[in-house]
Amino acid sequence: MKRAFTITLLIALALVLLNVMADLPPHGSAETPPYTHVGAYYLEHGPEETGSENVVTSVILNYRGFDTTGEVTVIVTALMAVIAVLTGTRDTSQEPDTAVTQIAPSVVVRFIVRVLAPFILVFAVYVILNGHITPGGGFQGGTMLGALIIALTLVLDERRSAKLIPQRSVRVIQVIAPLMFVAIGLFGLIAWGDYLFFPRSEELRPIVEIMLVLIEIGIGVGGAVVFARIFRLMAGRP
Amino acid sequence: MIEALWNNLDYAASVILFCIGLYAVITRNNLIKKFMGLNIMETAVFAFIVALGVVENGDAPIMGDGASAPFINPLPQALILTGIVVAVSTTALALSLVIRIWRQCGTIEADELREAE
């Protein structure tokens, strides 16, 4: 009864949504509103104005830099919330039996991860550093780096996997993405008088590219460490 | 309507995906499965918005040697990158809350938790 009611409700919702979808402009036409307003400007002027051949990167870091500042702050806030939820006051008396049986990963998994690790690392660094000229960027490369640390945490023993994240400097590294953004923003404020300002002249192009790459490195490293730490916290490790 | 939907098949597919996710959120009792459903809904919305920027025979919006117009709209992709990061953050927080609930109550089934109140 309940299930039938739910399905009826969902079909009604789907019909309403599909009706709206049928009224949208045809898929793939260049006359749709998202394409004719600000997107066309970005495509036309993005490469000259921002020093980034990848227009997606120029939108993220340059035109909408404030937006991305907030975004990297969201990741750090999520990490802080996870720390607060998982390592807060632990009342061990009421806890159910949390003794997780440790199953060692098979030889195949260990071998494959160890063989692939250097290649994944090189690719992640490549994606981070080339985000302004090829597909990719800080978030994409940072995810790969974080996934690499998580995969190695799964196959290595506790003593060695703890060393993957430098314990002493982790407090700084996990907030490096917002810090790097603020540093670049303040640099623009001091040099040109506007917070998060990227000059649009041809002569200053190399400086702008260095600023973009620095932000990408900050996002990549910071994001990777945040995701790896969230994983370790969920696994009950410090 | 059917013909218009056939032209907008990408949009229709994301509607179906959205409803599948909502179904999982409503009917599943396990909290982790509920959050999986929520992630499916998020994916549907992301797919829809990215599909809005697609242009017939469009090239990736990366200028440089060999790039030729028309280009795919970069704006939806940039916005969805933000959306994906926020979705990952909320999922991380939700899963850590699930871990905490399991530590406190010993179960993550919604109906058992309601009885335990």
Residue range B16-36, pLDDT digits in tens: 999 999 999 999 889 999 999
> Please, are residues A51 and A205 in contact by the beta-carbon 8 Å criterion?
yes
Strand partners, A54: B62
pTM here is: 0.85
- In words, the CATH class of domain B2-56+69-116 is mainly alpha
Does the distance separating the beta carbons of B103 and A42 come in below 8 Å?
A: no
Pick from B54, B62, B86: which is nearest to A54 by CB?
A: B62
> Please, are residues A39 and B53 in contact by the beta-carbon 8 Å criterion?
yes
Residue position matching structure tokens 């025979």? B57
User: What are the backbone angles phi and psi of residue A94, rounded to the nearest 5°?
Assistant: -90, -5
Domain boundaries along the sequence of chain A: 54-87+99-234
Question: What pLDDT is recorded for position A89?
Answer: 61
Confidence grade of residue A101 (pLDDT, cut at 50, 70, 90): low
* Distance, CA of B4 to CA of A26 (rounded, Å): 8
Pick from B1, B62, B92: which is nearest to A19 by CB?
A: B1
Please list every residue in chain B whose beta carbon sits closer than 8 Å to the beta carbon of residue A74: 85-86, 89
Please list every residue in chain A whose beta carbon sits closer than 8 Å to the beta carbon of residue B58: 28
Task: Provide the shortest C-alpha distance from residue A2 to chain B (in Å).
Answer: 9
Reported residue count of chain B is 117
Q: How far is CA B70 from the centre of its chain?
A: 28
Q: A21-69: per-residue pLDDT in tens?
A: 888 888 877 777 777 778 888 888 877 777 778 888 888 888 888 888 9
Q: Where are the alpha helices (DSSP H) in chain A?
A: 2-23, 33-36, 38-50, 55-57, 65-87, 107-129, 138-155, 158-161, 170-173, 176-192, 205-234
> Please, are residues B5 and B24 in contact by the beta-carbon 8 Å criterion?
no
Q: A75-97: per-residue pLDDT in tens?
A: 999 999 999 988 866 555 555 55
**ipTM for this prediction:** 0.84
